[in-house]
A and B are shown apart, each in its own frame.
Chain A
Amino acid sequence: QQQVKQSPQSLIVQKGGISIINCAYENTAFDYFPWYQQFPGKGPALLIAIRPDVSEKKEGRFTISFNKSAKQFSLHIMDSQPGDSATYFCAASLARQLTFGSGTQLTVLP
């Protein structure tokens, strides 16, 4: 019940396209849903986050869509750029602990 399932495992997108990464959870007690971006050899960095009382949050080219009834949330990267090529992790928080998805390796082709 503590799992967060992330898909796809890898994603290749052309420059200018939309990248979409999906996550699903079971535990309705989760109260915070962040997304992290990790470049090779670096620690993950918080990219954008949402709370379950909001259905969408947008920051620049990055948008989180949250569907509470379906227990799913997704990251949309608009106008994807080669610099967006990284590994993305979704996560869900409960009682000061984050449960991470398995990660998505995004490659944006120039």
Chain B
Amino acid sequence: SQTIHQWPATLVQPVGSPLSLECTVEGTSNPNLYWYRQAAGRGLQLLFYSVGIGQISSEVPQNLSASRPQDRQFILSSKKLLLSDSGFYLCAWSPPTQGSGYTFGSGTRLTVV
């Protein structure tokens, strides 16, 4: 069966510090991978998605970046965090075929102080 792992679960970082969140998927090949951000009490904002190694599409211009160094690994990064980067970050995957739902990870609660 397929599983998605996301870590860390919580993170408190000072303004201006770097960020690296990692997500890995097991039990599938060539998944579509997604990074979402959710502000408190708000909806899901798509940040990045990837359909293959090295293929990253950005939905929202910001100081975050994403990379996919391996087929089932998706990394969200920042060189310098802003207060506005605080939120709940979710990784998700879906099969490469169309018309499928996403499976979300357990999320990372990021607080920038």
Contacts and interface: CB of A to CB of B under 8 A. Distances in A.
Contact of B43 (A89, A95, A97, A98): A89
Contact of A42 (B44, B97, B100, B107): B107
Interface residues of B, number: 26
B99 A43 contact: no
Most buried by B among A41, A89, A101: A41
B101 A31 contact: no
A46 interface: yes
Nearest to A44: B104
Nearest to A99: B46
Interface string B45-66: 0100101000000000000000
Contacts, number: 58
Given A89-B43, A96-B94, A46 B101 contact: yes
Interface residues on A, range: 20 to 34
Nearest to B92: A43
B98 A96 contact: yes
Given A32-B100, A51-B99, A96-B94, A44 B51 contact: no
Given A96-B94, A96-B96, A43 B43 contact: no
B109 interface: yes
A49 interface: yes
Nearest to A35: B101
Contacts of A44: 44, 90, 104
Contact of B107 (A43, A93, A100): A43
B77 interface: no
Contacts of A95: 98
A93 B9 CA distance: 28
B98 A43 contact: no
A6 B28 CA distance: 32
A93 B43 contact: no
Interface of B: 6, 32, 41-44, 46, 49, 51, 88, 90, 92, 94, 96-107, 109
